[in-house]
Amino acid sequence: MVETFDKFWSADVPLYLYAEQFVPDHGRPVVRGLPAWLSEFKARHAENRRAHGLVDGTYDYRQDCVRFAHKVAAVTEAAFGLEADVLIWADADIVTHATVTTDWLTTLFPAGPYIAWLERDRHYPECGFYMLRCTHPAHREVMTRWRKLYETDAVFGLPQTHDSYVLQQIILEAEREGLITTHSLSGEARQHRHPSINGPLGTRLDHLKGPRKEQGRSPRTDLMTPRLEEYWCENR
């Protein structure tokens, strides 16, 4: 992820990396530490099997709150701790395959909405990549609500506790209250299980979800229709 970011992303877009117990061997990212509330949360639930996704002896990622709390901690820490107009979250299995400019990023996120994310019909969003407008008047309120679910353990009152579902509930609540509006990055791919590569993001990014990390790229069978970018033509 870091190597392709360094190769293709504009130099005026800083990369912040939240690392645990390792130092990346690359000069591009600025390494930041995770906040104290995460350590406290993990300590409280160290022996809570369900909080680690173990339900009736079977692993269920939808209940693995501790695992996905790391991502929530990174996003909310950055949301409060960085001076930026727009904050972009990208999973560590995002691969960039074409030049990413600030002009292109601007086209993804029109003025007005608080979040640009990968919506999926009748499903929680794909949260491997999303954009938050930190200058939005509701920004701190939304991020505070998200963080407090973990600080108070109220997150366990939700039917699912992975980050994508929890963020969806926070955003939908704020939208119902009229605090924010949202923007979809899925394009025509809202009904697809892998909207990131089938929508506008696919022109420059690939998301190696699950076993795709072993393959090194998303297979062409993930595409709704053939893409014409060089990266995807090579994959035919």
What per-residue confidence (pLDDT) applies to 171?
98
Quote the tokens at residue 203.
């022109």
Contact 97, 4 (CB under 8 A): yes
What per-residue confidence (pLDDT) applies to 32?
94
What per-residue confidence (pLDDT) applies to 236?
52
What per-residue confidence (pLDDT) applies to 235?
56
Sign of the alpha-carbon torsion through 123, 124, 127, 129: positive
Q: What is the pTM of this model?
A: 0.94
Quote the tokens at residue 113.
């909405």
What per-residue confidence (pLDDT) applies to 24?
87
DSSP of the chain: -HHHHHHHB-TTS--EEE-SS---S-SSSEEEPPPHHHHHHHHHTTT-TGGGTEETTEE-GGG-HHHHHHHHHHHHHHHHH---SEEEEE-TTEEE-S-B-HHHHHHHS-SS-SEEEEEETTEEEEEEEEEEETTSTTHHHHHHHHHHHHHSSGGGGSS--SHHHHHHHHHHHHHHTTS--EEES-GGGTTSS-HHHHSGGGGTEEE--TTHHHHTS--GGG-SS---SHHHHTT-
What per-residue confidence (pLDDT) applies to 94?
97
pLDDT per residue of the chain (236 residues) written in tens, 0 to 9? 999 999 999 999 999 999 888 888 899 999 999 999 999 999 999 999 999 999 999 999 999 999 999 999 999 999 999 999 999 999 999 999 999 999 999 999 999 999 999 999 989 999 999 999 999 999 999 999 999 999 999 999 999 999 999 999 999 999 999 999 999 999 888 888 889 999 999 999 999 998 899 999 999 899 999 999 999 997 55
